[in-house]
Chains A and B, each alone.
Chain A
Amino acid sequence: MTIKTLTSGVEMRQISKRFDAVQALANVNLELHPGEVHTIAGENGSGKSTLLKILGGVLKPDDGQILVAGEEKEFNSVRDAMRYGVTMVSQELSLVPNLGIAENVFIGHNQSRNKFGIDWKDTDRRALEILKRLNITVDPRREVSTLPQHEQQLVEIARALSFDTRVLLLDEPTSSLAPNEVAALFKVVRQLREDGVAVVLITHRMSEMLEISDRFTVLRDGKFIDTSDRSGVNENWLIDRMVLNKPKESARRNFQSSGRKTVLEVKGLSDRAGAYSDISFEVREGEIVGLAGLAGAGRTELVETLAGVRQRSAGEVFINGNQVGANSRTALKSGIALVPDDRRLKSTIHEMSVRDNLMLSQHKFEITHRSRKSEDKIIKSWIEKFSIKTSGPDAQIKSLSGGNQQKVVIARCLQTNPKILILDEATRGVDLGAKAEIYEILRNLANEGLSILVVSSEIGEIFEISDRILVMHAGELSANLDRSKTSEAEVVAAATGVK
């Protein structure tokens, strides 16, 4: 297989990349052939996205080579990558929302010109041609921000096609799509394959990758594990290679909800910006509730409203029967603490110490002196309790690994003595060891009587940790299931809106 010379393919050799304390990739190889759909499989934090970003020219590798048609090339920028025919459609859409579709397709390159400047008629015509290839019919002058998300994604792909793209990188293109939209996207992917494009795909859904891929490469903890043709691959093959320790059945708790009092009660809550509406549910004392759903279902918006950082238009929230106010300080005081989904953007303060980050939710009259001594005692007890690996309370938070940063954020929340702890994608970007530790911490907390709400896009995680599973779809609560009496299929159906 490897003897075949890659006359028109792309090869990555011995790629390594490190972020602060985390070795994201270590000597990873990847071969791409024209006309194949190649899935990179692996758990969160396995380095898939990093690998794609390096090939797309977004990140520079610390080490390793990239070969195009057998020749080593420098991929120093997105523009470089495009020059060699590699285009990336990223998880975070990179369109200019206030410009039109055609403008976005040709932005920065290949603009049609006439003697007065940009030739808009010709731009529109060429955009329409490409959009037709993707089976969408829209006005090319329409503002991109007015399109639904899956169509925005197609615009990104259209943009990629406006270059002479030979390698198309799709990072989780289906994460926020409904089944019929996924089918439409895959139709496009198959067509591109026939045109001789190499499509690299990252998806979390096993069934999707098995449906469309010709080849698989598995990464785990930033290391290359295995690669194979479609013929040798099934679900077990993938799981064996992706997951080091499969969840143990015995680790699951046996939770009896009867006779437990209700801690959190949400009644008819609606988001002011319309991300979700009329949500009602309860969480009992000592219960772990999983909140499943696709990206964009409104889960993050819901929990951020509970934590008081997002505005509601209707509804009430009660903790132990007492109504909770709508700002973050009162939410914290009443006992709601949130570990948000994006550490870098939403929870850690990057330039601050472990001390400041851990004590951030402790408040007194503003010009009160902070006693280092009494803070040290608290911080050291958390470092010990959660085995946080840090050189000390005054180490910069950014010197810690992702998992340890997350433990600091959880400690910050627990230091406020919450009645309910909410975790949004708490194990995203955390290595497997730390993930297991975080699960263990959560189980122990629940056993001590703390109520916990876990938002996760990983079905496996939801099933491993929850006693009860809530599912959201398109801003509504679509299911409320007992974990022991449901199946992954049922949760996926509720999450994708299949009745």
Chain B
Amino acid sequence: MRRALMFFVISSLFLSGCWDQRLYKDLAIISVIGVDGYIGDIKAYYAYPSSSDDPTQYIVLDGKGKTAREVRMDANNKSEQAIDIAELTTILFNEDTAKKNLYKMLDVYYRSAQSPMTAKIAITDGSVKRYLNLKETIPKEIGEYYLDFIKSFEDYSIYPKTNLEIAANLMFSEGVDLGLPYIKTSGKGLPQAKGLALFNGQKYTGVHLTQRESQFVTLLGHGKANFAELSYLWDKDGEQIPVSFSVIRFKKKKKVAQVGSKIKMTYEIKMPVVMTEYPPDHLNKKKKRDPIEKFIEKRIEKDMAKMFKKCQDAESDVIGIGEEIRAYHPNLWKEGKWKELYKDMEIKAKVNVQIERSGSTR
């Protein structure tokens, strides 16, 4: 028994192969990477924290090179410790880089076992350098900051949940396209989320949705996350009334029909809401509620129609209508030619809003 045990232990030690020790204390733990340029002339920025006092200090290394790996090696030469990206939280891409081909720039991450597949990707307006050298002091370390920044939008159903792994899946699937957070900064103040960058395959189309449109994409394509809030201003007989609500449930039914050579798709949405702002009050009366529900339904239908149009024009199927057609209506699906059909589709939304609760006051 003892001999068998020894044999087992020793052989498992040898069979495992080499385990390279990577001492945490000897590495520069990169938390954010920003990429400018494209293959042939890439410039990348690597940020890592240098002091844990508040406000957090961090160092930004820059690297230049022809390939993504070369850039990293170049940056490594400038650092006193070896660069390690195992705890990377966010990768920022210049929109010009993403327009050429995002996958080719990301390939370097997919080939290493130590790459964090949960890292977020975001598209920036203009050079990424500005997003890493923030003038404003931020309350957190910069990697944490961008991670929480994107995560909070995901929690509020504004962005669909994405990370390195999901992004790769979406870039290669035909029936659904990738949408990434689009952030913008004026140079002064903190960067702002400005909507959803629409992708067609592996390339950024150059079109981005607004935050509200992005929220509808998330609700339709991925369902409600933890929260979903909306706010409109109702111009009722010259009086400006704020109407804000939060979505309790978001149920959708899809109806697909073929009209001539076109595919017609109708979303029937049932959406119970809780009012979060409505100064005129008296929401307990059905007579008062009905017009508000009508107003909300109309506005959402209008906004959704705009969103569908924008996506179709950009040839980006971020909602994943293609997947639906391919799975449930295979006779309408044409392999390899989906985008042509998608462009001419007639997509509509019919919304049914119900004010289920009125908040603490009636």
Does A associate with B in a complex?
no
